[in-house]
């Protein structure tokens, strides 16, 4: 849309510590983000400041030092682990004579590479255009020139105004398409609610193992890789929690600290699955020594998208990297707080299934029921619910049914046939 310096993948990374204590985890994550985007890191410049500089963000002296590092390393790109204003990006590009990318632009680039579905590509493009809309002023001299030539002399439009108009039109077009996507997703959610299908959403920090766990639980084949944002497009699959009890599980995009606001806005349709879920499974990397910080970041994003009040069960994953066994932690009231599993080798998966079954079907009853020949209506109702596991007929034509179903459904079936009691015997 406008001229920029020559593109490239070799990069110099810039990280500033504004806090009193240096956060090595934040720098490591930044470097991993750059590599996930395909950058070939030549050098990492780390410095400490109390506040950003208004012109160069890093101060003129350090900016000259970074410029020298760019020349020495032959880097074609400088990436900042911070949000830069349009004027700061313009000033830095003029000084470095190369492209400058901030943290938001870096994450948007990764998302653009990972998007596979039509919806995902639309959401990423919308986020990129919203980000670009504030940065058209950083264009080069042709943006300030009037169109010229035969038939084009006179007032006309500047190139900048043309770019803004075209960009605004494309944003409106994408929003209309995404509105149809939201409508389709809402119809799906209404159908699940009508069918009384509970929804479980997997959330967590990126690279915590959500997709691997999703594949284990749902026997799915979602792409899982040891990299940041390996999964971008949401996936829904059915999962059988107990005989006759089915739920829908959603695998969502992983979170990261300082998730760009443009992404939160653009991925409204995707994140709606998280907000509307009956239960959130917060997948945590149990082997991460700084897992409490990543958990705090996830909880912050959940609050930002309006899912802060949802019921959450923590799933401590990657147990295969620890010297521990699968187990369940409960609070003083007896409610499940966390389940320790390994999605990699499958340990604890059955335990997690049991926890989910107990959460959604806490009052299952299982036993034998005696029905007289005149109670065919109740028998048909139980078969219709998929609750009959076995059936025998005695010498007098009465039915002996082995049933397993929620107590609530049994009560409704008995009330509809005006039978006072179930008469269940142990199975």
Is 147 annotated in a binding site? The answer is no
Q: Report whether 209 belongs to an annotated binding site.
A: yes
User: Do 243 and 386 touch, CB atoms closer than 8 A?
Assistant: yes
Does the annotation list 202 as a binding residue? no
206 among the known binding-site residues? yes
- The answer to whether the annotation marks 68 as part of a ligand binding site is no
Report d(CA 216, CA 196) in Å as an integer: 24
Q: Is 204 labeled as ligand-binding?
A: yes
Annotated binding residue 212: no
- Three-state DSSP state, 395: coil
Evaluate whether 67 touches 96 at the Cβ level (below 8 Å).
yes
**254 annotated as a binding-site residue:** yes
User: Dihedral, CA atoms, 107, 112, 113, 119, nearest 10 degrees?
Assistant: 130
Cβ–Cβ under 8 Å, residues 155 and 109: no
CA separation, residue 173 to residues 122, 166, 360 (Å): 10, 11, 41
Helix (H, G, I), strand (E, B) or coil at 317: strand
417 is in an annotated binding site: no
Nearest to 317 by CA among 291, 284, 355, 280: 284
233 is in an annotated binding site: yes
Any alpha helices (H) in 134-260, and if so which ranges? 159-194, 210-218
Considering only CA atoms, which of 407, 401, 361 is closest in space to residue 378?
401
214 is in an annotated binding site: no
397 carries a ligand binding annotation: no
Residue 253 assigned ligand-binding role: yes
Residue 134 marked as a ligand binder: no
Say if residue 343 carries a ligand binding annotation. yes
With beta carbons less than 8 A apart as the criterion, state whether 44 and 34 touch.
Answer: no
**Which candidate, 329, 331, 366, 326, places its Cα nearest to that of 350?**
326
- CA–chain centroid gap for 14, Å, is 27
On whether 208 is known to bind a ligand per the annotation, the reply is yes
Annotated ligand binding at 205? The verdict is yes
The rounded distance, in Å, linking the Cα atoms of 137 and 91 is 11
Q: Does 245 appear as a known binding residue?
A: no
Numbered residues of the known binding site? 204-211, 229-233, 251-254, 317-320, 342-344
Annotated binding-site positions for GTP:
204-211, 229-233, 251-254, 317-320, 342-344
Binding-site entries for Mg(2+) = 211, 231
């Amino acid at each position: 849309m406008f001229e920029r310096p020559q593109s490239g993948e070799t990069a110099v990374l810039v990280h500033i510590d504004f806090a009193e204590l240096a956060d090595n985890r934040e720098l490591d994550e930044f470097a991993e983000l750059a590599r996930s985007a395909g950058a070939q890191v030549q050098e990492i410049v780390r410095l400490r400041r109390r506040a950003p500089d208004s012109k160069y963000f890093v101060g003129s002296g350090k900016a000259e030092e970074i410029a020298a590092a760019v020349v020495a390393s032959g880097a074609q790109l400088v990436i900042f682990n911070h949000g830069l204003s349009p004027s700061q990006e313009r000033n830095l590009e003029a000084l470095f004579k190369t492209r400058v990318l901030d943290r938001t632009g870096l994450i948007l680039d990764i998302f653009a590479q990972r998007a596979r579905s039509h919806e995902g590509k639309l959401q990423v493009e919308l986020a990129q255009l919203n980000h670009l809309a504030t940065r058209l002023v950083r264009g080069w001299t042709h943006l300030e020139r009037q169109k010229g030539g035969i038939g084009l002399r006179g007032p006309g439009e500047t190139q900048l105004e043309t770019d803004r108009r075209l960009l605004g039109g494309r944003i409106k077009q994408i929003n209309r398409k995404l509105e149809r996507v939201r409508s389709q997703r809402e119809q799906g959610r209404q159908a699940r609610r009508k069918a009384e299908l509970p929804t479980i959403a997997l959330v967590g920090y990126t690279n915590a193992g959500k997709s691997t766990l999703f594949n284990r639980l749902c026997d799915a084949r979602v792409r899982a890789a040891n990299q940041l944002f390996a999964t971008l497009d949401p996936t829904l699959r059915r999962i059988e929690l107990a005989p006759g009890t089915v739920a829908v599980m959603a695998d969502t995009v992983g979170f990261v600290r300082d998730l760009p606001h443009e992404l939160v806005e653009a991925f409204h349709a995707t994140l709606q699955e998280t907000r509307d879920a009956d239960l959130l499974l917060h997948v945590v990397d149990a082997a991460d020594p700084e897992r409490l910080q990543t958990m705090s970041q996830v909880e912050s994003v959940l609050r930002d998208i309006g899912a802060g009040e949802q019921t959450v069960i923590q799933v401590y994953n990657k147990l295969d990297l620890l010297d521990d066994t699968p187990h369940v932690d409960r609070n003083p009231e007896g409610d499940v707080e966390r389940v320790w599993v390994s999605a990699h080798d499958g340990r604890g998966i059955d335990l997690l299934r049991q926890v989910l079954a107990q959460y959604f079907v806490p009052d299952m009853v299982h036993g034998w029921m005696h029905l007289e020949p005149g109670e065919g209506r109740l028998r048909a109702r139980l078969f219709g619910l998929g609750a009959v596991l076995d059936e025998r007929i005695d010498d007098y034509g009465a039915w002996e049914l082995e049933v397993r179903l929620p107590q609530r459904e049994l009560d409704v079936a008995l009330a509809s046939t005006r039978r006072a009691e179930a008469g269940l015997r142990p199975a």
